Structure 1
Amino acid sequence: MPQIEIDDEVFARLKGEAEPFVDTPNDVLRRLLGMEAEPRVAVDSSKSPALPRPVKRYRRRKAGELMPLLDAGILRVDDELVYQKRSGEQYNGLVTNDGWISVDGESFFSPSGALKSAVGYDVNGWKHWRVVRTDRLLDEYRQAG
């Protein structure tokens, strides 16, 4: 069987798309390329109890506004975002594998929608969410691209 080499960033993306304990890297690539899945080998269920099927971390949905930054390698899956008000009150978000932002277990398509949900009023998320890893605003990345 042919082998390919991939870099760490591509491998991390494959892991983010995989169903844990179910998918192989080949399964993920087949799904992303729109190919049919390879047939699975039947397992004799009388020998071992069936394991529950894991729940996908992020369901399939259209790509969020941060996806171009993920694709360019500027942001990473699970990058932490933070917004701190002048009063010191702090809000946190997490970049998902499909370019959305997760805040308190809820996911948002846009940085502004995520921040509005957190603080309760309209805020430009691009100009206020800061990437913890780099200590830079999302807007700085968007302006550079």
Structure 2
Amino acid sequence: MKTIEIDDEVYEVLLGKVRDFGDTPNLVLRREFSLNGAGKVSAPTQESPLQDFLSLTEFRFAKGAVGRFLAILSWLYKQDANAFSVVEDVRGRGRIYFSKSVQELEGSGRSVNPKKIPGTPYWVITTTPTDLKQQMLGEVMKALGCDLASIQLAKKAIAR
């Protein structure tokens, strides 16, 4: 393996292209140059808007599963604010998960710790385990008409 020196600006660009926690600079460069591992160049892949968002510093530095969950919900709202009202139909057996009223969420159960979804009029409960946050997000995305690959990508991104 060879070593190369890069300046700070190039390093920052590489960091901006990291998709997953385990991405190495080598993997990022392989993806950018469309190298498939055998030294052959393959057709460049088209990134989805969600993949673009997940690679942004705004998402990558979100604090914990709750921060990543809120960031994706906020991004979904920005994609179609009118359709986002479907979140109010995503509920548990006895709990309300989403509401425009923090009082309504607090009244639906104990220790719900409602958080405002940034840039939206909605609140969401956050004292759920990560797998339930993933399930909630999956239901929201399905109701919004997102494809299965995007749903899986978003759910995986919360847990990383």
Task: Establish whether TM, by shorter chain, passes 0.5.
Answer: no
The TM-score range, normalised by the shorter chain, is under 0.3
* TM-score scaled by length of structure 1: 0.27
Identify, as 1 or 2, the structure richer in strand: 1
* TM-score scaled by length of structure 2: 0.26
